[in-house]
Amino acid sequence: MIICTNDDGLGTIGLESLAEVCREFGEVKVMAPDRERSLCSHSLDPTGELKLKEVRPEVFSLSGTPADCTRIALRHFDEKPALLCSGINHGGNLGVDALYSGTMAAAREAYLRGISAISFSMVLESGVEPDWSCVEMKARDVLELWRAEASNEPILWNVNFPSRVSEASLIVRCQFDSTPMTLNYERTQAGYRYVGNYHNRPRKEKGDVARCFGGEITLVDLSGGSQSFL
């Protein structure tokens, strides 16, 4: 069984596409937030009761965060999943974005509980419509890699697609870029407003930020080692 979730909520093309690809690798069950929960990081809903609704067979919405979705999915479904996939997020989760990302938190929650997990995200570019057929093809290639490398030890992968994905796009394994975002805020009457440009963020030459903005599909393995703080 494969669990699919996200932080954009049910009904998004990214989640639908990911679930469709995952069905080629096993039975799929979906547990996603009932509304957008972007940038909520690894927070949990503090209200107490989480409302669960079966939207259609094996597809559920939850009034919680992405991390809540993972936790409830592991409690609600009888079978232990072979894999949890989160995404495909509408927006990149490169480098330090993984610390703030609800998409990544859903995957990280599964990994912390001994289950392999992959987070999928896509960098957006104004005026560029993603080629979802190519995105699905490359997501399929990532899952083929997971299946080929499956072992008793769980994995945690952070995968990012550039805004323009084609059949020729390469999947590259690279390092997590820990360069922080610049503090580009301007004063307003009420306080501050962020005015930074995501595409102009600082980056290291061979890190995931630089390589994804260079047109490659990046795969960062966050399973243990020096990057295990995630």
State the average pLDDT over residues 81-98: 95
State the average pLDDT over residues 146-164: 94
Structure tokens at 229: 């703080």
Is the Cβ–Cβ distance between 174 and 214 less than 8 Å?
no
Q: In terms of C-beta density within 10 A (0-12 exposed, 13-18 middle, 19 or more buried), how is residue 46 classed?
A: exposed
Give the domain extent around 119: 2-178+205-227
Instruction: Identify the CATH number of the domain in which residue 147 sits.
Output: 3.40.1210.10
Distance CA 162, CA 183 (A): 24
Residue 148 falls inside a structural domain: yes
pLDDT tens sequence across 189-220: 999 999 988 889 999 999 999 999 999 999 99
Residue 160 falls inside a structural domain: yes
pLDDT tens sequence across 162-171: 999 999 999 9
- Nearest CA among 110, 108, 109, 136 for reference residue 122: 136
Is the Cβ–Cβ distance between 105 and 121 less than 8 Å?
no
Residue 184 falls inside a structural domain: no
For CA atoms 126, 105, 170, 26, the dihedral sign is: negative
Distance CA 149, CA 142 (A): 11
Alpha helices in the chain (DSSP H): 13-22, 66-76, 97-100, 102-112, 132-149, 208-213
Q: What is the amino acid identity at position 181?
A: M
Is the Cβ–Cβ distance between 30 and 8 less than 8 Å?
no
What letter does residue 179 receive in the DSSP assignment? P
Residue 86 falls inside a structural domain: yes
Mean pLDDT of the chain: 92
Question: Which residue's structure tokens are 């407003």?
Answer: 193
Question: Which residue's structure tokens are 């104004």?
Answer: 126
pTM over 0.85: yes
Residue 213 falls inside a structural domain: yes
pLDDT grade for 150, boundaries at 50, 70 and 90: confident
The total number of structural domains in the chain stands at 1
What letter does residue 15 receive in the DSSP assignment? H
Residue 19 falls inside a structural domain: yes
pLDDT tens sequence across 113-124: 999 999 999 999
pLDDT grade for 142, boundaries at 50, 70 and 90: very high
Residue 189 falls inside a structural domain: no
